Amino acid sequence: MGKVGIPNLEEEALLWKDGSAFVFGVDEAGRGCLAGPVCAGVSAWAPFSPVFGLPVAVRDSKVMTEPQREGAFAPVQQYSLAWGVGFASAQEIDRWNILRATHLAIARALEAAFAKLAALGLSPWQQASFLTDGSHSMVKQCLFFLSVGDYQGEFPCLQRLRGQRFVERCVVKGDSKVFSIACGSVLAKVSRDRYMLELDRQYPTYEFAAHKGYSTAKHVENLRKAGPCLEHRRSFSPVSETLLLFP
């Protein structure tokens, strides 16, 4: 698997060898925040990708600097066979819980990537495999939303994955080991950070640009002074505690 912290294509190569034409790396950002959406990023790579090897200098997005992440974002989009980003809002997190909402964000990211491939006349759902960061299946779980009335019309491409046999390999610390997962990590982190910068302009009281919605001491201090905004996750503590003071 190479040096820890330096992603490589070994996991992807095993799936290509087994006949997977489309290998998707899957990761998320923002699960532990008090405010803002959870975001998922996916990047699809194949043996016939435009370039050979590692075209982008990526690592686990958490250990990359902000300029490094921003610098990798466009090349990941350019060189991957397809990519997608999906969000689940604070309201959806409160409705479903953070784990289910993460599944929803992944479903949206995959739908976006599948749609790009379908536009090229390709059928990714027939020869797709997935490399997911962590120890739990996320792609299989995201298919739950194909049967939820509110969302059934949202996933015409992903719907075609239902009933297909596919491989999903979960890799602990995959964003530091697996190239396609690291690319998904960068897509998710940069997309979410940009979203939080926009929220900072809308809600300057909370200083979202500084902490991106995470539970820093300053964020909690501002939350307790001003109460939650529409982008705070009301099912999360200490946000839920402030609702008693700011109903």
Distance CA 107, CA 109 (A): 5
Residue 50 confidence (pLDDT): 46
For residue 184, how many C-alpha atoms fall within 13 Å in the half-sphere facing its CB?
Answer: 36
Bridge pairing between strands 22-29 and 38-45: antiparallel
- pLDDT tops 90 at residue 147: yes
Residue 152 confidence (pLDDT): 83
The string of pLDDT tens digits covering residues 83-135 is 999 999 999 999 999 999 999 999 999 999 999 999 999 999 888 999 999 99
Nearest residue to 34 via CA among 96, 98, 86, 104: 98
The string of pLDDT tens digits covering residues 47-74 is 755 455 577 788 888 889 999 999 999 9
**Mean pLDDT to the nearest integer, 6-16:** 91
What's the pTM?
A: 0.94
Distance CA 182, CA 90 (A): 25
Q: Would you list the domain boundaries of the chain?
A: 10-199, 203-242
Residue 144 confidence (pLDDT): 96
Residue 126 confidence (pLDDT): 87
Sign of the torsion formed by the C-alpha atoms of 71, 39, 114 and 48: positive
Return the CATH architecture of domain 10-199: 2-Layer Sandwich (3.30)
